[in-house]
Structure 1
Amino acid sequence: MTNKNIYIAGHRGMVGSAIWRVLEAKGFKNLVGKTSQELDLRNQEQVNQFFTTEKPEVVIDAAARVGGILANKDYPYNFLMENLQIQNNLIDASLKQEVQKFIFLGSSCIYPKLAPQPLKEDYLLTDTLEPTNEWYAIAKITGVKACQSIRQQYGKDYVSLMPTNLYGSHDNFDLQTSHVLPAMIRKFHDAKIKEGKTGMSEPVELWGTGSPKREFLHVDDLAQAVCYALENPLEEHLYNVGTGTDLSIKNLAEKIQKIVGHQGEIQWDSSKPDGTPRKLLDVSKLHQEGWHHQINLDEGIQSTYDWFQSHIDTFKEVKVNK
Protein backbone atom coordinates (compact mmCIF):
# COMPACT_ATOMS: atom_id res chain seq x y z
CA MET A 1 0.00 0.00 0.00
CA THR A 2 2.77 2.48 0.90
CA ASN A 3 4.20 2.18 -2.63
CA LYS A 4 0.98 3.20 -4.39
CA ASN A 5 0.98 6.35 -6.49
CA ILE A 6 -1.33 8.67 -4.51
CA TYR A 7 -2.51 12.03 -5.86
CA ILE A 8 -3.69 14.49 -3.21
CA ALA A 9 -5.71 17.26 -4.88
CA GLY A 10 -5.42 20.47 -2.86
CA HIS A 11 -2.24 19.31 -1.11
CA ARG A 12 -1.26 22.81 -0.01
CA GLY A 13 -4.55 23.63 1.70
CA MET A 14 -5.32 23.03 5.35
CA VAL A 15 -6.85 19.59 4.75
CA GLY A 16 -4.56 18.45 1.95
CA SER A 17 -1.36 19.42 3.74
CA ALA A 18 -2.51 17.57 6.87
CA ILE A 19 -3.23 14.44 4.82
CA TRP A 20 0.18 14.74 3.17
CA ARG A 21 1.93 14.98 6.56
CA VAL A 22 0.09 11.99 7.99
CA LEU A 23 0.69 9.75 4.95
CA GLU A 24 4.34 10.75 4.78
CA ALA A 25 4.76 9.95 8.48
CA LYS A 26 3.20 6.52 7.88
CA GLY A 27 5.76 5.73 5.19
CA PHE A 28 3.82 6.43 1.99
CA LYS A 29 6.52 7.18 -0.57
CA ASN A 30 4.80 8.14 -3.83
CA LEU A 31 2.71 11.18 -2.99
CA VAL A 32 1.83 13.54 -5.84
CA GLY A 33 0.69 17.14 -5.51
CA LYS A 34 0.25 20.02 -7.94
CA THR A 35 -0.28 23.68 -7.16
CA SER A 36 -3.15 25.56 -8.78
CA GLN A 37 -0.57 27.28 -10.99
CA GLU A 38 0.75 23.92 -12.18
CA LEU A 39 -2.68 22.34 -12.65
CA ASP A 40 -6.01 24.20 -12.85
CA LEU A 41 -8.51 21.64 -11.58
CA ARG A 42 -11.35 23.66 -13.10
CA ASN A 43 -9.92 22.89 -16.56
CA GLN A 44 -11.07 19.46 -17.76
CA GLU A 45 -8.44 19.18 -20.49
CA GLN A 46 -5.59 19.90 -18.08
CA VAL A 47 -6.93 17.41 -15.53
CA ASN A 48 -7.34 14.64 -18.13
CA GLN A 49 -3.82 15.22 -19.43
CA PHE A 50 -2.41 15.09 -15.90
CA PHE A 51 -4.16 11.77 -15.18
CA THR A 52 -2.99 10.29 -18.49
CA THR A 53 0.61 11.23 -17.72
CA GLU A 54 0.76 10.60 -13.96
CA LYS A 55 -1.55 7.54 -13.76
CA PRO A 56 -2.41 7.80 -10.04
CA GLU A 57 -3.64 4.62 -8.35
CA VAL A 58 -5.37 6.47 -5.52
CA VAL A 59 -6.95 9.95 -5.58
CA ILE A 60 -7.81 11.99 -2.49
CA ASP A 61 -9.94 15.04 -3.31
CA ALA A 62 -9.16 17.74 -0.75
CA ALA A 63 -9.47 20.56 -3.28
CA ALA A 64 -12.35 23.02 -2.99
CA ARG A 65 -13.38 26.64 -2.96
CA VAL A 66 -14.20 27.20 0.71
CA GLY A 67 -15.27 30.04 2.98
CA GLY A 68 -17.62 31.17 5.72
CA ILE A 69 -21.11 32.70 5.73
CA LEU A 70 -19.97 36.05 4.31
CA ALA A 71 -18.00 34.54 1.43
CA ASN A 72 -20.84 32.17 0.52
CA LYS A 73 -23.32 35.04 0.60
CA ASP A 74 -21.20 37.30 -1.61
CA TYR A 75 -20.01 34.73 -4.17
CA PRO A 76 -22.75 32.07 -4.65
CA TYR A 77 -21.87 31.34 -8.29
CA ASN A 78 -18.18 30.79 -7.50
CA PHE A 79 -18.96 28.39 -4.69
CA LEU A 80 -21.36 26.37 -6.85
CA MET A 81 -19.61 26.32 -10.20
CA GLU A 82 -15.95 26.11 -9.21
CA ASN A 83 -16.57 23.25 -6.80
CA LEU A 84 -18.60 21.39 -9.42
CA GLN A 85 -15.83 21.86 -11.96
CA ILE A 86 -13.06 20.72 -9.60
CA GLN A 87 -14.74 17.57 -8.34
CA ASN A 88 -16.38 16.55 -11.61
CA ASN A 89 -13.06 16.75 -13.45
CA LEU A 90 -11.28 14.72 -10.77
CA ILE A 91 -13.98 12.06 -10.45
CA ASP A 92 -14.47 11.61 -14.20
CA ALA A 93 -10.74 11.47 -14.92
CA SER A 94 -10.31 8.91 -12.13
CA LEU A 95 -13.00 6.71 -13.64
CA LYS A 96 -11.50 6.98 -17.14
CA GLN A 97 -8.00 6.14 -15.88
CA GLU A 98 -9.18 3.14 -13.84
CA VAL A 99 -8.36 4.69 -10.45
CA GLN A 100 -9.52 2.02 -8.01
CA LYS A 101 -9.65 4.12 -4.82
CA PHE A 102 -11.12 7.62 -4.66
CA ILE A 103 -11.70 9.48 -1.38
CA PHE A 104 -14.02 12.47 -1.73
CA LEU A 105 -14.07 15.05 1.06
CA GLY A 106 -17.16 17.14 1.63
CA SER A 107 -18.76 18.94 4.54
CA SER A 108 -21.52 18.49 7.09
CA CYS A 109 -23.36 21.38 5.41
CA ILE A 110 -24.70 18.83 2.88
CA TYR A 111 -27.40 17.89 5.40
CA PRO A 112 -30.75 19.70 5.71
CA LYS A 113 -30.88 22.79 7.92
CA LEU A 114 -33.50 21.43 10.31
CA ALA A 115 -32.70 17.72 10.17
CA PRO A 116 -32.88 15.81 13.48
CA GLN A 117 -29.74 15.89 15.61
CA PRO A 118 -27.27 14.28 15.54
CA LEU A 119 -27.07 14.18 11.75
CA LYS A 120 -27.10 10.70 10.24
CA GLU A 121 -25.85 9.90 6.75
CA ASP A 122 -29.41 8.79 5.88
CA TYR A 123 -30.70 12.36 6.26
CA LEU A 124 -29.06 13.47 3.00
CA LEU A 125 -31.61 15.07 0.60
CA THR A 126 -34.55 14.72 3.00
CA ASP A 127 -35.25 18.48 3.38
CA THR A 128 -34.08 21.99 2.43
CA LEU A 129 -30.53 23.20 2.99
CA GLU A 130 -29.20 26.09 5.11
CA PRO A 131 -29.45 29.15 2.76
CA THR A 132 -26.14 30.68 3.91
CA ASN A 133 -24.10 27.86 2.35
CA GLU A 134 -26.45 26.05 0.00
CA TRP A 135 -24.31 26.72 -3.09
CA TYR A 136 -21.29 24.94 -1.65
CA ALA A 137 -23.54 22.21 -0.23
CA ILE A 138 -25.24 21.50 -3.56
CA ALA A 139 -21.86 21.06 -5.23
CA LYS A 140 -20.67 18.67 -2.52
CA ILE A 141 -23.91 16.65 -2.63
CA THR A 142 -23.32 16.19 -6.35
CA GLY A 143 -19.83 14.84 -5.61
CA VAL A 144 -21.20 12.38 -3.05
CA LYS A 145 -23.77 11.13 -5.55
CA ALA A 146 -21.18 10.87 -8.35
CA CYS A 147 -18.99 8.64 -6.16
CA GLN A 148 -21.99 6.60 -5.06
CA SER A 149 -23.10 6.04 -8.66
CA ILE A 150 -19.60 4.91 -9.73
CA ARG A 151 -19.50 2.53 -6.78
CA GLN A 152 -22.91 1.16 -7.77
CA GLN A 153 -22.35 0.98 -11.53
CA TYR A 154 -18.66 0.07 -11.75
CA GLY A 155 -17.96 -1.55 -8.37
CA LYS A 156 -15.04 0.75 -7.58
CA ASP A 157 -13.98 1.73 -4.06
CA TYR A 158 -15.08 5.37 -4.17
CA VAL A 159 -15.98 6.68 -0.72
CA SER A 160 -17.13 10.07 0.61
CA LEU A 161 -16.10 11.43 4.00
CA MET A 162 -18.13 14.30 5.42
CA PRO A 163 -16.19 16.12 8.16
CA THR A 164 -17.72 18.48 10.66
CA ASN A 165 -16.28 22.00 11.13
CA LEU A 166 -12.51 21.79 10.74
CA TYR A 167 -9.72 23.87 12.23
CA GLY A 168 -5.95 23.61 12.72
CA SER A 169 -2.63 24.64 11.25
CA HIS A 170 -2.66 26.17 7.74
CA ASP A 171 -6.21 27.43 8.30
CA ASN A 172 -7.51 30.60 6.64
CA PHE A 173 -7.47 33.54 9.08
CA ASP A 174 -8.69 36.21 6.65
CA LEU A 175 -11.70 37.86 8.29
CA GLN A 176 -13.55 38.23 4.97
CA THR A 177 -13.51 34.54 4.03
CA SER A 178 -12.65 32.48 7.10
CA HIS A 179 -14.79 30.13 9.18
CA VAL A 180 -15.88 30.88 12.73
CA LEU A 181 -13.06 29.36 14.81
CA PRO A 182 -10.06 30.86 12.96
CA ALA A 183 -11.94 34.16 12.61
CA MET A 184 -12.35 34.27 16.38
CA ILE A 185 -8.67 33.52 16.94
CA ARG A 186 -7.78 36.40 14.62
CA LYS A 187 -10.23 38.83 16.22
CA PHE A 188 -9.25 38.07 19.80
CA HIS A 189 -5.55 38.17 18.95
CA ASP A 190 -5.81 41.52 17.15
CA ALA A 191 -7.80 42.96 20.08
CA LYS A 192 -5.24 41.63 22.58
CA ILE A 193 -2.39 43.27 20.65
CA LYS A 194 -4.31 46.56 20.58
CA GLU A 195 -4.94 46.32 24.32
CA GLY A 196 -1.23 45.83 24.85
CA LYS A 197 -0.45 48.98 22.87
CA THR A 198 -3.13 51.27 24.32
CA GLY A 199 -3.48 49.85 27.82
CA MET A 200 -7.24 50.05 27.34
CA SER A 201 -9.87 47.30 27.14
CA GLU A 202 -10.69 46.43 23.52
CA PRO A 203 -14.12 44.85 22.82
CA VAL A 204 -14.55 42.12 20.21
CA GLU A 205 -17.71 42.05 18.10
CA LEU A 206 -18.98 38.67 16.93
CA TRP A 207 -21.84 37.79 14.59
CA GLY A 208 -25.20 36.45 15.78
CA THR A 209 -26.43 35.59 19.24
CA GLY A 210 -23.86 32.96 20.20
CA SER A 211 -26.63 30.39 20.76
CA PRO A 212 -26.05 27.99 17.81
CA LYS A 213 -24.15 24.84 18.68
CA ARG A 214 -21.26 23.52 16.62
CA GLU A 215 -18.92 20.54 16.55
CA PHE A 216 -15.22 21.02 15.75
CA LEU A 217 -12.66 18.49 14.50
CA HIS A 218 -8.93 19.12 14.30
CA VAL A 219 -7.69 18.74 10.73
CA ASP A 220 -5.02 16.23 11.83
CA ASP A 221 -7.82 13.96 13.07
CA LEU A 222 -9.53 14.21 9.68
CA ALA A 223 -6.22 13.30 8.03
CA GLN A 224 -6.06 10.19 10.21
CA ALA A 225 -9.61 9.30 9.13
CA VAL A 226 -8.60 9.66 5.47
CA CYS A 227 -5.64 7.39 6.09
CA TYR A 228 -7.96 4.88 7.76
CA ALA A 229 -10.26 4.94 4.72
CA LEU A 230 -7.23 4.50 2.48
CA GLU A 231 -5.93 1.45 4.33
CA ASN A 232 -9.30 -0.21 5.02
CA PRO A 233 -12.14 -1.09 2.64
CA LEU A 234 -15.27 0.64 3.95
CA GLU A 235 -18.61 -1.07 3.43
CA GLU A 236 -20.69 1.99 2.53
CA HIS A 237 -20.23 5.04 0.29
CA LEU A 238 -20.77 7.85 2.84
CA TYR A 239 -19.35 8.39 6.33
CA ASN A 240 -19.52 11.31 8.75
CA VAL A 241 -16.25 12.32 10.39
CA GLY A 242 -16.38 14.21 13.68
CA THR A 243 -16.09 14.07 17.45
CA GLY A 244 -19.73 13.40 18.29
CA THR A 245 -19.82 16.34 20.75
CA ASP A 246 -20.59 20.05 20.30
CA LEU A 247 -20.72 23.37 22.17
CA SER A 248 -22.39 26.75 21.74
CA ILE A 249 -20.67 29.48 19.73
CA LYS A 250 -20.74 31.57 22.93
CA ASN A 251 -18.84 28.87 24.81
CA LEU A 252 -16.41 28.54 21.93
CA ALA A 253 -15.76 32.29 21.98
CA GLU A 254 -15.09 32.24 25.72
CA LYS A 255 -12.75 29.27 25.32
CA ILE A 256 -10.76 30.97 22.54
CA GLN A 257 -10.73 34.30 24.41
CA LYS A 258 -9.16 32.58 27.44
CA ILE A 259 -6.54 30.72 25.38
CA VAL A 260 -5.59 33.87 23.41
CA GLY A 261 -5.50 36.00 26.56
CA HIS A 262 -7.89 38.75 25.48
CA GLN A 263 -9.29 40.79 28.42
CA GLY A 264 -12.04 42.89 26.83
CA GLU A 265 -15.77 42.47 26.38
CA ILE A 266 -17.45 40.20 23.82
CA GLN A 267 -20.25 42.03 21.99
CA TRP A 268 -22.80 39.95 20.02
CA ASP A 269 -24.38 41.53 16.93
CA SER A 270 -27.76 39.81 16.84
CA SER A 271 -28.66 41.59 13.58
CA LYS A 272 -26.23 39.23 11.80
CA PRO A 273 -27.28 35.67 10.85
CA ASP A 274 -26.67 32.74 13.18
CA GLY A 275 -26.79 30.08 10.50
CA THR A 276 -27.98 26.56 11.32
CA PRO A 277 -29.20 26.27 14.95
CA ARG A 278 -27.26 23.07 15.55
CA LYS A 279 -25.01 20.85 13.45
CA LEU A 280 -23.80 17.75 15.27
CA LEU A 281 -22.78 14.67 13.32
CA ASP A 282 -23.70 11.12 14.17
CA VAL A 283 -20.30 9.45 13.81
CA SER A 284 -21.37 5.98 14.94
CA LYS A 285 -20.87 4.41 11.49
CA LEU A 286 -17.19 5.32 11.32
CA HIS A 287 -16.76 4.40 15.00
CA GLN A 288 -18.14 0.96 14.19
CA GLU A 289 -15.55 0.67 11.42
CA GLY A 290 -12.84 1.33 14.03
CA TRP A 291 -11.88 5.02 13.75
CA HIS A 292 -12.08 7.63 16.58
CA HIS A 293 -10.74 11.18 16.91
CA GLN A 294 -7.79 11.81 19.27
CA ILE A 295 -7.36 15.61 19.74
CA ASN A 296 -9.56 17.40 22.30
CA LEU A 297 -10.81 20.93 21.57
CA ASP A 298 -8.72 22.85 24.14
CA GLU A 299 -5.53 21.14 22.99
CA GLY A 300 -6.45 21.74 19.36
CA ILE A 301 -7.25 25.45 19.81
CA GLN A 302 -3.99 26.00 21.70
CA SER A 303 -1.90 24.33 18.97
CA THR A 304 -3.79 26.27 16.27
CA TYR A 305 -3.18 29.57 18.05
CA ASP A 306 0.50 28.66 18.46
CA TRP A 307 0.68 28.00 14.70
CA PHE A 308 -1.13 31.26 13.94
CA GLN A 309 1.32 33.28 16.02
CA SER A 310 4.38 31.66 14.45
CA HIS A 311 3.04 32.30 10.92
CA ILE A 312 1.28 35.62 11.45
CA ASP A 313 3.42 37.41 8.86
CA THR A 314 3.32 34.63 6.28
CA PHE A 315 0.03 32.71 6.40
CA LYS A 316 -2.10 32.63 3.30
CA GLU A 317 -5.23 34.76 3.22
CA VAL A 318 -7.61 33.23 0.70
CA LYS A 319 -9.17 35.68 -1.76
CA VAL A 320 -12.30 34.83 -3.72
CA ASN A 321 -12.31 36.03 -7.33
CA LYS A 322 -15.44 37.85 -8.42
Structure 2
Amino acid sequence: MSNVLIVAEHLDGKLNPSTAKCVSAAKALNPAAIDIVVLAADPATIAADAAMIDSVRRVLTVTNPANANAIAQVQAPQVAALAAGYSHVFGPSTTFGKDLMPCVAALLGVSQVSDVMAVEGSHTFKRPIYAGNAIVTVEAPANAPVVATVRTASWPEANKGGNAAIEPASPDASLPAHTRYVGLAAGKSDRPDLQSAKRVVSGGRGVGSAENFKIIYDLADKLGAAVGASRAAVDAGYVPNELQVGQTGKIIAPELYVAVGISGAIQHLTGIKDAGTIVAINKDGDAPIFEIADIGLVGDLFALLPELQDALSA
Protein backbone atom coordinates (compact mmCIF):
# COMPACT_ATOMS: atom_id res chain seq x y z
CA MET A 1 0.00 0.00 0.00
CA SER A 2 1.06 3.57 -0.69
CA ASN A 3 2.12 6.01 2.00
CA VAL A 4 2.12 9.62 0.85
CA LEU A 5 4.02 12.59 2.27
CA ILE A 6 2.81 16.01 1.12
CA VAL A 7 4.94 19.12 1.52
CA ALA A 8 2.73 21.97 2.68
CA GLU A 9 2.92 25.29 0.88
CA HIS A 10 2.39 28.34 3.07
CA LEU A 11 3.16 32.05 3.21
CA ASP A 12 2.89 34.56 6.03
CA GLY A 13 1.53 31.91 8.39
CA LYS A 14 -1.30 30.84 6.06
CA LEU A 15 -1.70 27.46 4.39
CA ASN A 16 -2.01 27.66 0.62
CA PRO A 17 -5.05 25.89 -0.92
CA SER A 18 -2.62 23.97 -3.15
CA THR A 19 -1.90 21.70 -0.19
CA ALA A 20 -5.51 20.50 -0.01
CA LYS A 21 -5.42 19.87 -3.77
CA CYS A 22 -2.36 17.68 -3.30
CA VAL A 23 -4.38 15.70 -0.76
CA SER A 24 -7.06 15.09 -3.39
CA ALA A 25 -4.41 13.75 -5.75
CA ALA A 26 -3.00 11.55 -3.00
CA LYS A 27 -6.45 10.15 -2.21
CA ALA A 28 -6.69 8.91 -5.81
CA LEU A 29 -3.93 6.43 -4.95
CA ASN A 30 -6.14 4.81 -2.27
CA PRO A 31 -3.17 4.98 0.08
CA ALA A 32 -2.75 3.48 3.49
CA ALA A 33 -1.88 6.91 4.90
CA ILE A 34 -1.50 10.56 3.91
CA ASP A 35 0.79 12.76 5.98
CA ILE A 36 1.62 16.46 5.58
CA VAL A 37 4.89 18.06 6.58
CA VAL A 38 5.05 21.73 7.52
CA LEU A 39 8.50 23.32 7.50
CA ALA A 40 8.53 26.73 9.20
CA ALA A 41 10.11 28.77 11.95
CA ASP A 42 6.79 28.53 13.83
CA PRO A 43 4.55 25.92 12.21
CA ALA A 44 1.81 25.70 14.87
CA THR A 45 -0.93 27.73 13.15
CA ILE A 46 -0.21 26.29 9.71
CA ALA A 47 -0.18 22.75 11.09
CA ALA A 48 -3.54 23.31 12.78
CA ASP A 49 -5.06 24.28 9.43
CA ALA A 50 -3.46 21.30 7.69
CA ALA A 51 -4.79 18.94 10.36
CA MET A 52 -8.34 19.92 9.42
CA ILE A 53 -8.02 18.56 5.86
CA ASP A 54 -10.03 15.39 5.41
CA SER A 55 -8.19 12.05 5.05
CA VAL A 56 -4.92 13.30 6.54
CA ARG A 57 -3.50 10.91 9.15
CA ARG A 58 -0.98 13.23 10.77
CA VAL A 59 0.83 16.52 10.31
CA LEU A 60 4.57 16.59 10.90
CA THR A 61 6.03 19.90 12.05
CA VAL A 62 9.67 20.79 11.45
CA THR A 63 10.51 23.83 13.55
CA ASN A 64 13.70 25.55 12.49
CA PRO A 65 14.61 29.24 12.04
CA ALA A 66 16.20 28.22 8.74
CA ASN A 67 12.69 27.40 7.49
CA ALA A 68 11.41 30.93 8.03
CA ASN A 69 11.62 31.42 4.26
CA ALA A 70 10.94 28.79 1.59
CA ILE A 71 14.42 28.17 0.19
CA ALA A 72 14.48 24.95 -1.82
CA GLN A 73 18.11 24.15 -1.10
CA VAL A 74 17.46 24.40 2.64
CA GLN A 75 14.14 22.57 2.77
CA ALA A 76 14.93 19.78 0.28
CA PRO A 77 17.43 17.91 2.53
CA GLN A 78 14.87 17.92 5.35
CA VAL A 79 12.09 16.60 3.11
CA ALA A 80 14.40 13.95 1.64
CA ALA A 81 15.33 12.79 5.15
CA LEU A 82 11.66 12.53 6.12
CA ALA A 83 10.83 10.63 2.91
CA ALA A 84 12.13 7.34 4.34
CA GLY A 85 9.18 5.01 4.74
CA TYR A 86 7.00 6.84 2.22
CA SER A 87 6.26 5.51 -1.25
CA HIS A 88 5.25 8.93 -2.62
CA VAL A 89 6.29 12.53 -1.94
CA PHE A 90 3.94 15.12 -3.42
CA GLY A 91 4.20 18.88 -3.75
CA PRO A 92 2.08 21.40 -5.69
CA SER A 93 3.02 22.39 -9.23
CA THR A 94 3.25 26.02 -8.18
CA THR A 95 6.31 28.26 -8.06
CA PHE A 96 7.02 26.81 -4.61
CA GLY A 97 6.73 23.18 -5.72
CA LYS A 98 8.55 23.64 -9.00
CA ASP A 99 11.47 25.06 -7.04
CA LEU A 100 11.53 22.51 -4.22
CA MET A 101 10.50 19.13 -5.60
CA PRO A 102 13.25 18.71 -8.24
CA CYS A 103 15.79 19.20 -5.43
CA VAL A 104 14.05 16.52 -3.36
CA ALA A 105 14.02 14.15 -6.34
CA ALA A 106 17.73 14.73 -6.96
CA LEU A 107 18.60 13.98 -3.33
CA LEU A 108 16.57 10.77 -3.47
CA GLY A 109 18.15 9.79 -6.80
CA VAL A 110 14.89 9.56 -8.74
CA SER A 111 13.31 11.33 -11.69
CA GLN A 112 10.45 13.69 -10.86
CA VAL A 113 6.97 13.19 -12.30
CA SER A 114 5.70 16.68 -13.15
CA ASP A 115 2.19 18.14 -13.36
CA VAL A 116 0.21 15.07 -12.34
CA MET A 117 -3.34 15.62 -13.57
CA ALA A 118 -4.70 12.07 -13.16
CA VAL A 119 -3.73 8.92 -11.27
CA GLU A 120 -3.98 5.67 -13.23
CA GLY A 121 -2.22 3.45 -10.69
CA SER A 122 0.24 3.59 -7.83
CA HIS A 123 3.08 4.43 -10.22
CA THR A 124 1.19 5.44 -13.36
CA PHE A 125 0.09 9.01 -13.98
CA LYS A 126 -1.21 11.31 -16.70
CA ARG A 127 0.36 14.69 -17.36
CA PRO A 128 0.04 17.35 -20.09
CA ILE A 129 2.71 17.96 -22.74
CA TYR A 130 3.03 20.28 -25.74
CA ALA A 131 1.29 23.15 -23.97
CA GLY A 132 -1.60 20.89 -22.99
CA ASN A 133 -2.32 19.80 -26.56
CA ALA A 134 -1.52 16.20 -25.66
CA ILE A 135 -1.80 14.09 -22.52
CA VAL A 136 0.89 11.50 -21.89
CA THR A 137 0.78 8.51 -19.54
CA VAL A 138 4.01 8.05 -17.59
CA GLU A 139 5.09 5.19 -15.35
CA ALA A 140 7.54 5.67 -12.50
CA PRO A 141 9.85 2.84 -11.34
CA ALA A 142 8.10 0.63 -8.81
CA ASN A 143 11.26 0.06 -6.77
CA ALA A 144 11.85 3.72 -5.87
CA PRO A 145 9.89 6.48 -4.17
CA VAL A 146 7.74 8.64 -6.44
CA VAL A 147 8.47 12.35 -6.24
CA ALA A 148 5.81 14.33 -8.07
CA THR A 149 4.30 17.76 -8.49
CA VAL A 150 0.52 17.97 -8.66
CA ARG A 151 -1.17 20.13 -11.30
CA THR A 152 -3.39 22.09 -8.92
CA ALA A 153 -5.74 23.23 -11.69
CA SER A 154 -6.75 19.59 -12.27
CA TRP A 155 -7.71 18.73 -8.70
CA PRO A 156 -10.34 20.09 -6.28
CA GLU A 157 -9.47 21.09 -2.75
CA ALA A 158 -9.97 18.23 -0.32
CA ASN A 159 -12.79 18.85 2.13
CA LYS A 160 -12.29 20.12 5.65
CA GLY A 161 -13.49 18.17 8.66
CA GLY A 162 -10.37 16.18 9.48
CA ASN A 163 -8.70 15.95 12.86
CA ALA A 164 -5.20 14.72 12.16
CA ALA A 165 -2.60 14.26 14.87
CA ILE A 166 0.12 16.91 14.95
CA GLU A 167 3.60 15.58 15.72
CA PRO A 168 7.00 17.28 15.84
CA ALA A 169 9.70 15.90 13.57
CA SER A 170 13.46 16.36 13.58
CA PRO A 171 14.93 15.21 10.28
CA ASP A 172 18.59 14.26 10.33
CA ALA A 173 19.78 16.55 7.57
CA SER A 174 22.74 18.83 7.03
CA LEU A 175 21.59 22.21 5.80
CA PRO A 176 23.72 24.03 3.22
CA ALA A 177 25.44 27.27 4.06
CA HIS A 178 25.99 28.46 0.49
CA THR A 179 22.37 29.55 0.00
CA ARG A 180 20.80 32.34 2.03
CA TYR A 181 17.62 34.39 1.97
CA VAL A 182 18.10 37.95 0.75
CA GLY A 183 14.56 39.21 0.21
CA LEU A 184 11.23 38.66 -1.46
CA ALA A 185 9.93 41.04 -4.11
CA ALA A 186 6.20 40.57 -4.46
CA GLY A 187 3.36 42.76 -5.59
CA LYS A 188 0.89 43.79 -2.89
CA SER A 189 -2.82 43.70 -3.63
CA ASP A 190 -6.09 43.64 -1.75
CA ARG A 191 -7.58 41.49 -4.51
CA PRO A 192 -7.77 37.68 -4.27
CA ASP A 193 -4.66 35.68 -5.11
CA LEU A 194 -4.61 34.85 -8.83
CA GLN A 195 -3.54 31.25 -8.29
CA SER A 196 -6.42 30.34 -5.97
CA ALA A 197 -9.16 32.87 -6.87
CA LYS A 198 -12.64 31.58 -7.69
CA ARG A 199 -13.17 34.43 -10.17
CA VAL A 200 -10.60 35.99 -12.50
CA VAL A 201 -10.83 38.87 -14.98
CA SER A 202 -7.96 39.00 -17.48
CA GLY A 203 -7.00 41.62 -20.04
CA GLY A 204 -5.04 41.21 -23.25
CA ARG A 205 -3.37 43.28 -25.94
CA GLY A 206 -6.80 44.58 -26.96
CA VAL A 207 -6.97 46.67 -23.78
CA GLY A 208 -4.48 48.97 -25.47
CA SER A 209 -2.40 50.45 -22.64
CA ALA A 210 -1.51 50.32 -18.96
CA GLU A 211 -3.85 53.27 -18.34
CA ASN A 212 -6.73 51.48 -20.06
CA PHE A 213 -6.20 48.45 -17.83
CA LYS A 214 -8.12 50.33 -15.14
CA ILE A 215 -11.30 49.09 -16.80
CA ILE A 216 -10.17 45.50 -16.07
CA TYR A 217 -9.44 46.34 -12.42
CA ASP A 218 -12.84 48.02 -12.06
CA LEU A 219 -14.70 44.96 -13.36
CA ALA A 220 -12.63 42.67 -11.17
CA ASP A 221 -13.47 44.77 -8.11
CA LYS A 222 -17.15 44.62 -9.01
CA LEU A 223 -16.98 40.81 -9.22
CA GLY A 224 -14.66 40.34 -6.25
CA ALA A 225 -12.21 38.75 -8.67
CA ALA A 226 -8.47 38.48 -9.13
CA VAL A 227 -6.83 40.18 -12.11
CA GLY A 228 -4.85 38.34 -14.77
CA ALA A 229 -3.35 39.11 -18.16
CA SER A 230 -2.17 37.51 -21.35
CA ARG A 231 1.52 37.36 -22.19
CA ALA A 232 0.97 39.98 -24.89
CA ALA A 233 -0.33 42.43 -22.27
CA VAL A 234 2.60 41.66 -19.96
CA ASP A 235 5.18 41.99 -22.75
CA ALA A 236 3.62 45.32 -23.75
CA GLY A 237 4.15 46.58 -20.19
CA TYR A 238 0.48 46.98 -19.31
CA VAL A 239 0.82 44.96 -16.10
CA PRO A 240 3.60 43.18 -14.13
CA ASN A 241 4.50 39.61 -15.07
CA GLU A 242 3.09 38.11 -11.86
CA LEU A 243 -0.35 38.58 -13.44
CA GLN A 244 0.46 36.50 -16.51
CA VAL A 245 -1.84 33.54 -17.17
CA GLY A 246 -0.81 30.75 -19.51
CA GLN A 247 1.88 28.23 -20.31
CA THR A 248 4.71 30.53 -19.21
CA GLY A 249 2.62 32.16 -16.48
CA LYS A 250 0.13 30.76 -13.99
CA ILE A 251 -2.05 27.71 -14.64
CA ILE A 252 -5.41 28.45 -13.00
CA ALA A 253 -8.84 26.87 -12.69
CA PRO A 254 -11.31 29.48 -11.39
CA GLU A 255 -15.04 28.93 -11.38
CA LEU A 256 -15.40 32.01 -13.62
CA TYR A 257 -12.83 33.33 -16.07
CA VAL A 258 -13.51 36.54 -18.01
CA ALA A 259 -11.12 37.12 -20.94
CA VAL A 260 -11.21 40.71 -22.16
CA GLY A 261 -9.40 41.69 -25.35
CA ILE A 262 -7.60 38.34 -25.44
CA SER A 263 -7.40 36.60 -28.81
CA GLY A 264 -6.76 33.15 -27.36
CA ALA A 265 -3.26 31.97 -28.27
CA ILE A 266 -2.74 28.30 -27.42
CA GLN A 267 -0.21 29.24 -24.72
CA HIS A 268 -2.91 31.28 -22.97
CA LEU A 269 -5.61 28.65 -23.37
CA THR A 270 -3.30 26.13 -21.68
CA GLY A 271 -3.51 28.20 -18.51
CA ILE A 272 -7.32 28.29 -18.35
CA LYS A 273 -8.46 24.97 -19.84
CA ASP A 274 -9.74 23.73 -16.47
CA ALA A 275 -11.79 26.87 -15.69
CA GLY A 276 -15.46 26.32 -14.92
CA THR A 277 -17.14 29.01 -17.05
CA ILE A 278 -15.18 31.05 -19.60
CA VAL A 279 -16.56 34.39 -20.80
CA ALA A 280 -14.84 36.05 -23.78
CA ILE A 281 -15.20 39.70 -24.78
CA ASN A 282 -13.49 40.63 -28.04
CA LYS A 283 -14.26 42.77 -31.09
CA ASP A 284 -12.98 40.04 -33.43
CA GLY A 285 -15.71 37.44 -33.78
CA ASP A 286 -13.23 35.00 -35.30
CA ALA A 287 -10.80 35.12 -32.36
CA PRO A 288 -9.75 31.61 -31.19
CA ILE A 289 -10.89 32.42 -27.63
CA PHE A 290 -14.52 32.04 -28.77
CA GLU A 291 -13.91 28.40 -29.69
CA ILE A 292 -13.50 27.45 -26.03
CA ALA A 293 -15.66 30.15 -24.41
CA ASP A 294 -18.96 29.20 -22.78
CA ILE A 295 -20.25 32.75 -23.27
CA GLY A 296 -19.02 35.17 -25.93
CA LEU A 297 -19.62 38.88 -26.45
CA VAL A 298 -18.45 40.38 -29.74
CA GLY A 299 -17.92 44.12 -29.57
CA ASP A 300 -15.84 47.01 -28.29
CA LEU A 301 -14.70 46.18 -24.77
CA PHE A 302 -14.71 49.89 -23.84
CA ALA A 303 -18.44 49.98 -24.58
CA LEU A 304 -19.37 46.54 -23.25
CA LEU A 305 -17.54 46.62 -19.91
CA PRO A 306 -19.21 49.81 -18.61
CA GLU A 307 -22.59 48.36 -19.60
CA LEU A 308 -21.71 45.12 -17.79
CA GLN A 309 -20.68 47.02 -14.67
CA ASP A 310 -23.92 49.01 -14.73
CA ALA A 311 -25.91 45.79 -15.00
CA LEU A 312 -23.99 44.31 -12.07
CA SER A 313 -24.78 47.40 -9.99
CA ALA A 314 -28.49 47.29 -10.78
TM-score greater than 0.5 by the shorter chain: no
Which one has more relative contact order, counting CA pairs under 8 Å at least 6 apart? 1
Higher strand share: 2
Structure index of larger Rg: 2
Q: TM-score, normalised by structure 2?
A: 0.35
What is the TM-score of this pair, normalised by structure 1?
0.35
